[in-house]
Amino acid sequence: MSPGPATTDPSPGSLDEVIADYLEAEDRGGSSDRGAVLARYPEWAGELAAFFAAQDRFGGLVAPLRDIAPRAGPEPAAAPGRRVGGYEILGEFARGGMGVIYTARQVQLGRVVALKMILTGAHAPAEDRQRFQLEAEAAARLDHPNIVPVYDVGEADGRPFYSMKLVAGRNLADHLGGRPLPAAEATGLVAAVPGPSGTRTTAGSCTAT
Amino acid sequence: MQQEVVVLRHCQGWQLADIAAHVGRSRAAVASLLRRGLDALREHFPREEG
């Protein structure tokens, strides 16, 4: 994606290796002993303490969102050539918190479309599936020059999907080049993006596509 | 990518190894993105009360 300092891998034994070890300990379950980490790496104590503080602060702020966000890990991308309903997958186009968008060929009509599927597939909780279905239906009802038209809504092998016109463009991450956007500008940008039902996306939904 | 890593970790609770595989970076590189992502967000955090 965006080149720059963000792409350099930290050297072994660096602060980020220490943080990675700490995060993995967290992932293995149980509480990771921050005191021991700080004591073991006094040279990074300031940075580590700042990281722990920021992690707690942000973690606390987004905690309410975690209950509604899909918790499962990523589902492998559908392999090119795979058939989904009447579509042949050509490649992965974009991926967000809840859905993945493929470029696909609608076999019967021979046209290339964007095919959106729920990220966790057939294993998605009923609530996510219902939300996805509502999004698809709402999007299909919209007719607006700024909104990509929906062609088809369906389900294949227990995975809901919908297809829409494929629009070439840059995604937001590429546009930003890894830099945070000034708040005022970000607000304007988000306000200009219609949500799935033509209104703004609710602040609590924390999804990226 | 900072943003994506922070969202995956904190909003969706992904494990470090999963995020690393997903974005195609080493675990330390993901830790770095996460650390700097949180750092960048810090100025937007509401002030702590008291």
pLDDT digits (tens, 9 = 90+) for A167-190: 765 555 555 555 666 676 666 656
Of A14, A71, A74, the CB nearest to B13: A71
Q: How far is it, in rounded angstroms, from Cα B40 to Cα B43?
A: 7
Which CATH code of 3.40.50.12780, 3.30.200.20, 3.40.190.10, 3.20.20.70 fits the domain covering A73-209? 3.30.200.20
User: Is residue A94 classed as helix, strand or coil in its secondary structure?
Assistant: strand
ipTM of the modeled complex:
0.89
Residue B5, chain A, CB below 8 Å: the answer is no
Q: Can you give the residue ranges of every domain in chain A?
A: 8-66, 73-209
Q: Do B36 and A6 touch (CB under 8 A)?
A: yes
Residue A66, chain B, CB below 8 Å: the answer is yes
Q: Do B42 and A54 touch (CB under 8 A)?
A: yes
| CA angle in degrees (0–180, nearest 5) for A152-A78-A151 | 10
Q: What are residue B24's phi and psi, to 5 degrees?
A: 70, 35
pLDDT digits (tens, 9 = 90+) for A63-118: 776 655 554 444 555 667 788 889 998 888 777 767 788 889 999 998 889 898 88
Residue B47, chain A, CB below 8 Å: the answer is no
Q: Where are the alpha helices (DSSP H) in chain A?
A: 15-27, 34-40, 45-66, 126-141, 172-176, 183-192
Write down how long chain B is: 50
Residue B50, chain A, CB below 8 Å: the answer is no
